[in-house]
Amino acid sequence: MLNKYARAFFTRVLTPFAAFLLRRGVSPDAVTLVGTAGVVAGALVFFPRGEFFWGTITITLFVFSDLVDGNMARQAGVSSRWGAFLDSTLDRVADAAIFGGLALWYAGSGNDNVLCAVAIFCLASGQVVSYTKARGEAIGLPVAVNGLVERAERLVISLVAAGLSGLQTFGVPSWIGVLLPVALWLVAAGSLVTLVQRVVTVRREAAEADAAAPAEGGAA
């Protein structure tokens, strides 16, 4: 849902910055790699130590590279299958680092095995949600469904909650720390619903395509 409305807005906002990088000779692939490295570093350095505020700030600074690289490629007229593949693959790496960092916190100093398991479920379900669409499209289906919680929603919900929870470091009452567990449960439930939506859609589209194939063959 956020992809539909927010992506266009941020693309317009970041267009001048993308043009600036192109003038400096920076390639879209370089932005993709640096952005992913920054997200991974922010997630795996800060989150396992419970430094959620600074981890979120670091991740947020780099996560917009996902919009900048594509913008650069379009402006330069160099959009390619390789760039799309690299971007999609590294998105999965970044997502895994974010939820992996949270899982490490709850497995260690956070001392909560249930929330550790929820964070791992968020990590795994996010990967599978993306895979179902990619696999459906690979076998020739449109997979015409977005779903309740896609990547943008997963990141916004998780990072906003983590950042706010991290404000405890600055003297904000400790009750704000409950936002992160609530966010993880929401992302886990939403990801499960989205996965079911996509599987049902692929099953329906596959049945329709299989039913149409003999009819087309007979007509030929």
Tokens matching residue 173: 């009452």
Q: What was the pLDDT predicted at 204?
A: 95
The answer to whether residue 10 scores a pLDDT higher than 60 is: yes
Which residues are known binding-site members for a CDP-1,2-diacyl-sn-glycerol?
A: 29-32, 70, 74, 80
pLDDT tier at 141, thresholds 50, 70, 90: very high
Which residues are known binding-site members?
A: 29-32, 66, 69-70, 74, 80, 87, 91
- 35 or 2, which is more confident? 35
The answer to whether residue 47 scores a pLDDT higher than 60 is: yes
Instruction: Report the C-alpha dihedral over residues 201, 204, 206, 210, rounded to 10 degrees.
Output: -170
Q: For the purposes of burial, counting CB atoms within 10 Å of the CB of 197, is it exposed (0-12), middle (13-18) or buried (19 or more)?
A: middle
Which residues are known binding-site members for Mg(2+)?
A: 66, 69, 87, 91
> Side-chain half-sphere of 35: how many Cα atoms within 13 Å?
26
The mean pLDDT of 62-85, rounded to a whole number, is 86
Q: What was the pLDDT predicted at 76?
A: 84
The answer to whether residue 101 scores a pLDDT higher than 90 is: yes
95 as an active site residue: the answer is no
For residue 113, CA distances in Å to 39, 74, 120, 140, 158 come to: 25, 45, 10, 41, 18
The answer to whether residue 120 scores a pLDDT higher than 70 is: yes
Residue with tokens 């760039």: 83
The answer to whether residue 65 scores a pLDDT higher than 90 is: no
The mean pLDDT of 15-32, rounded to a whole number, is 90
- 117 or 63, which is more confident? 117
Q: Which of 91, 95, 112, 210 is catalytic?
A: 91
Q: What was the pLDDT predicted at 146?
A: 81
The answer to whether residue 67 scores a pLDDT higher than 90 is: no
Q: What was the pLDDT predicted at 9?
A: 72
Task: Give the model confidence (pLDDT) of 122-134 as tens digits.
Answer: 999 999 999 999 9
Q: How far, in Å, CA of 101 to CA of 119, rounded?
A: 9
The answer to whether residue 11 scores a pLDDT higher than 80 is: no
The reported pTM is: 0.90
Host H or E run for residue 32: helix 28-46
